[in-house]
Structure 1
Amino acid sequence: MFQRLALAAFGLVAASVVSAQDGQWKEGTHYFKIEPPLPTAQADKVEVTEVFSYGCPACSSAAPKVAQLKAKLPANAVMTYVPAAWNAAEQWPLFQRAYFTAQALGVADKAHDDMFKAIWGGGPLAVVVNGKVKTPAPTIDDVAAFYEKYGSKAADFTATASSFAINTKMKRADGFIKSAQVESTPTIVVNGKYRLDGRSAGSWENVEAIVLYLVKQESAPK
């Protein structure tokens, strides 16, 4: 039931579909303005950010759709990811640490899709089995062993995972999520200024259309 509700919230199962053309999307209904705007890392790019967790079943189901959106972004836009950590029971803090560690070691993109499979496809990092939280839960050592096939040595991974730099990135991610008023995953943030999810958009097709509309809007000469 939880997974179905989560998927419905992002428009990945039957949901009301909003029919609108470019320019008819309404701020405050289909997407929400973030005040004050959040700083972005790349001044020359429009940043499209997915707030997600590897431990989130809706994010796992949405991953192929997010990849399609990424492929449709214009050359002046870039997809980024901010992992959430609010669900400690299903190891979200661990997976937040894992993402930033893999990113620091240059293997996050290569392993991104497979991380979902390792958690939700019956792989070695599963957190829920037969509808129940798995015990014992995966550890950072388990995650480090998983990333070895992508070229990261387990010892390097665990050492990096506990570093000051990773702890700082995790705190910044938590701050970004709080400032953007993100309450569920997956949520999309466009250029630090706008937030939307499946409930506001009505369907994944609408999420994609709204994101591309907002990217176009952000790309227009100021």
Structure 2
Amino acid sequence: MLKGLFQTASALLLGAAFATAAHAADTFEAGTHYFAVEPPQPTSTGDKAEVVEVFSYACPACNMFQATMQKLKAALPANTELVYLPASFRPDEDWPVFQRAFYTAQALGVLDKTHDATFDLVWKDEGTLRISDAKTHKPVSPMPTIEDVAKAYAKFGVKADEFTATAGSFAINTKMKRADALLKAYGVDSTPTLVVNGKYRLTAVSAGGIDKIAPLVKFLIEKDAGAK
């Protein structure tokens, strides 16, 4: 009960942060709190504003950031869509495998079931896809494979052989290459990173803290709408 009340209060506070963002707009400066993406990249959300989260399931900071992302998603304006972009630039931490897992789950229509759950599979002590030892925190060897992901996803109604076959398909390989190209175009070199409307890049650090993310995202959405 208390947990539910806390979550509700947190969502209301984040919503309030969006509502009052305009009053703090003059505190956000290009080159300090956010960075222009040059050249701007096309969005995938049509007439809606787009907020992209660049992440990896194997990124510890991304795991910690999920509570913030869930609140942000709930508080985004109605004409805004959240898009996930999995990164692969840390093969030493198995990021390409988890990038492939993301796009495979998306292709099979189970991403809504697997997305949050995969963070738990990687980071909870009993998780079956851990990339580090729960006690020593040293990298495990070998790292999880796409076959391991397929077995772990069986509880979400996915057949292991279908998952691995899809994971190795031309369509998934193409999506991964496009994702890598888009990451470079965005200028992303760390995770988690947010990109607004393909034009503005920010992190919690650049924003000035977790509590500044919501008003900064709101400011950038309004800034772009005003420019149009």
TM-score range, shorter chain: 0.7 to 0.9
Identity over aligned pairs, percent: 52
Residues 1:92 and 2:98 aligned together: no
1:23–1:213 contact (8 Å) kept in structure 2:
no
Corresponding residue for 1:44? 47
CA offset at residue 136 of structure 1? Answer: 2.1
The residue type paired with residue 172 of structure 1 is: R
Residues 1:219 and 2:225 aligned together: yes
1:90-169 maps to which residues of 2 (within 5 A)? 90-122=93-125, 123-129=127-133, 130-169=136-175
CA offset at residue 212 of structure 1? Answer: 1.6
Structure 1 segments of 4 or more deviating over 4 A? Answer: none
Q: Deviations over 1:161-210 (max 9, x none)?
A: 00001000000110111111101000000010000002211201112220
> For the residues of structure 2 that align with 1:80 and 1:152, how far apart are their CA atoms?
23
Decide which structure has the larger Cα Rg and report it. Answer: 2
The residue type paired with residue 105 of structure 2 is: A
Corresponding residue for 1:17? none
Residues 1:70 and 2:73 aligned together: yes
Normalised to the residue count of structure 2, the TM-score between the two structures is 0.86
> For the residues of structure 1 that align with 2:117 and 2:225, how far apart are their CA atoms?
33
Corresponding residue for 1:15? none
Normalised to the residue count of structure 1, the TM-score between the two structures is 0.88
> For the residues of structure 2 that align with 1:175 and 1:46, how far apart are their CA atoms?
21
Q: Deviations over 1:129-176 (max 9, x none)?
A: 122110121111110111121121111110000000100000011011
1:40–1:47 contact (8 Å) kept in structure 2:
yes
CA offset at residue 97 of structure 1? Answer: 0.3
1:205-216 maps to which residues of 2 (within 5 A)? 205-216=211-222
> For the residues of structure 1 that align with 2:157 and 2:217, how far apart are their CA atoms?
34
1:50–1:81 contact (8 Å) kept in structure 2:
yes
Paired residues, number: 203
> For the residues of structure 2 that align with 1:61 and 1:221, how far apart are their CA atoms?
34
Task: Indicate how the Cα distance of structure 1 residues 43 and 83 shifts in structure 2: closer, same or farther if over 3 A, else same.
Answer: same
CA-atom RMSD in angstroms: 1.3
Partner-residue secondary structure (3-state), 1:51: strand
Structure 2 segments unaligned to the other structure (5+ residues): 1-22
